[in-house]
């Protein structure tokens, strides 16, 4: 692998509603397919990576099953192809349309926004977080018991109140002046870029976050607490799920 600097423009950071973009292939390597720009969110901050499709104008395509920050190319994003996928038509310079699995992303965004609502309801530091399309979990550093129904009702209230959700960039100096902004013990915001992305749920929560969210808490819909576990003396794990029944065949 050569050391040519290769970075991916992260379109999802400024507009998480984008479902597709055109892009140019920069490299294909063990990490996956690297594009010059993408709407695919890479695993990070507890949120799972996107899946989707890279497609050429002539219809050739490759399914992407996961997205990761490239291990060997800082600033590059690796689109992980499905096992056994034919990549022979993909060459550096190839133009493609990068399209995410919208349903999977919407599930991530709903759960991710719900974890912020949970942070507003449980005023304790977070020491772990995982967000998938099927569930989300948040570990709080605390010893007091939590009540499932009370938290579900709290989330439902914040969803019904339809608070706008938006991000903005603040300087690292501004962040240092407000240490209370950082709610998570395990995930510190990325440093050294001069600015930090903060996510604001108007009147509810404000914290550094690089993930993808819905644009209004109303879109979180019917997310409920499905389980509360005592993981250790100082850890309470809250698991979130969708309350709507899963689609069943027949
Ligand atoms: Zn977030």
Output the six-digit token pair for 128. Answer: 């772990």
Residues 134-189 have pLDDT tens digits of 999 999 999 999 999 999 999 999 999 999 999 989 888 888 887 777 766 555 66
Q: What's the 117 CA to ligand 1 centre distance in angstroms?
A: 10
Give, rounded to a whole angstrom, the gap between the first and last alpha carbons of the chain: 51
Task: Pick left, alpha or beta for residue 8 (phi over 0 → left; psi -120 to 50 → alpha; otherwise beta).
Answer: beta
Neighbours of 33 (CB within 10 A): 27
The confidence score (pLDDT) of residue 179 equals 74
User: CA 137 to CA 124: how far, in whole Å?
Assistant: 15
Residues 120-143 have pLDDT tens digits of 999 999 989 999 999 999 999 999
Q: What's the 134 CA to ligand 1 centre distance in angstroms?
A: 17
Instruction: Report the share of the chain in percent with pLDDT over 90.
Output: 78
Q: Decide if pLDDT at 229 tops 90.
A: yes
Q: What's the 178 CA to ligand 1 centre distance in angstroms?
A: 18
Q: Decide if pLDDT at 195 tops 90.
A: no
Q: What's the 54 CA to ligand 1 centre distance in angstroms?
A: 26
Query: How confident is the prediction for the chain on average, in pLDDT?
Result: 92
Q: How far does Cα 123 stand from its chain's mean position?
A: 22
pLDDT tier at 77, thresholds 50, 70, 90: very high
What residues does the ion ligand 1 have nearby, CB within 5 Å? 199, 209, 211
The confidence score (pLDDT) of residue 36 equals 98
Q: What's the 122 CA to ligand 1 centre distance in angstroms?
A: 16
Q: What's the 231 CA to ligand 1 centre distance in angstroms?
A: 23
Residues 9-46 have pLDDT tens digits of 999 998 999 999 999 999 999 999 999 999 999 999 89
Contact call for residues 229 and 240 (beta carbons, < 8 A)? no
Q: What's the 172 CA to ligand 1 centre distance in angstroms?
A: 18
Instruction: Report the share of the chain in percent with pLDDT over 70.
Output: 92
Residues 101-115 have pLDDT tens digits of 999 999 999 999 999
When pLDDT is averaged across residues 48-73 and rounded to a whole number, the result is 97
Q: What's the 200 CA to ligand 1 centre distance in angstroms?
A: 9
Q: What's the 8 CA to ligand 1 centre distance in angstroms?
A: 21
Q: What's the 141 CA to ligand 1 centre distance in angstroms?
A: 18
Contact call for residues 212 and 132 (beta carbons, < 8 A)? no
Q: What's the 103 CA to ligand 1 centre distance in angstroms?
A: 18
pLDDT tier at 90, thresholds 50, 70, 90: very high
Predicted TM-score (pTM) of the model is 0.91
């Amino acid at each position: 692998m050569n050391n040519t600097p290769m970075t991916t423009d992260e379109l999802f950071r400024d507009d998480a509603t984008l479902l597709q973009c055109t892009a140019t292939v920069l490299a294909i390597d063990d990490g996956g397919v690297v594009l010059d720009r993408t709407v695919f969110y890479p695993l990070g901050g507890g949120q799972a990576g996107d899946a989707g499709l890279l497609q050429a104008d002539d219809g050739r395509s490759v399914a992407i099953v996961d997205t990761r920050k490239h291990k060997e190319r800082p600033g590059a994003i690796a689109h992980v192809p499905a096992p056994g996928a034919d990549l022979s038509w993909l060459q550096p310079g190839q133009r493609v349309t990068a399209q995410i699995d919208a349903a999977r992303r919407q599930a991530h965004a709903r759960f991710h926004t719900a974890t912020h609502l949970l942070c507003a309801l449980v005023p304790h530091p977070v020491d772990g977080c995982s967000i998938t399309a099927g569930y989300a979990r948040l570990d709080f550093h605390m010893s007091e018991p939590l009540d499932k129904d009370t938290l579900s009702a709290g989330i439902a209230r914040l969803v019904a109140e339809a608070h706008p959700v938006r991000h903005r960039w603040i300087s690292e100096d501004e962040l240092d002046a407000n240490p209370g902004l950082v709610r998570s013990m395990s995930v510190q915001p990325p440093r050294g870029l001069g600015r930090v992305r903060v996510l604001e749920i108007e009147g509810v929560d404000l914290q550094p976050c690089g993930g993808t969210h819905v644009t209004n808490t109303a879109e979180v819909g019917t997310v409920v607490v499905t389980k509360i576990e005592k993981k250790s003396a100082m850890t309470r794990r809250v698991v979130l799920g969708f309350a709507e029944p899963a689609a069943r065949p027949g």
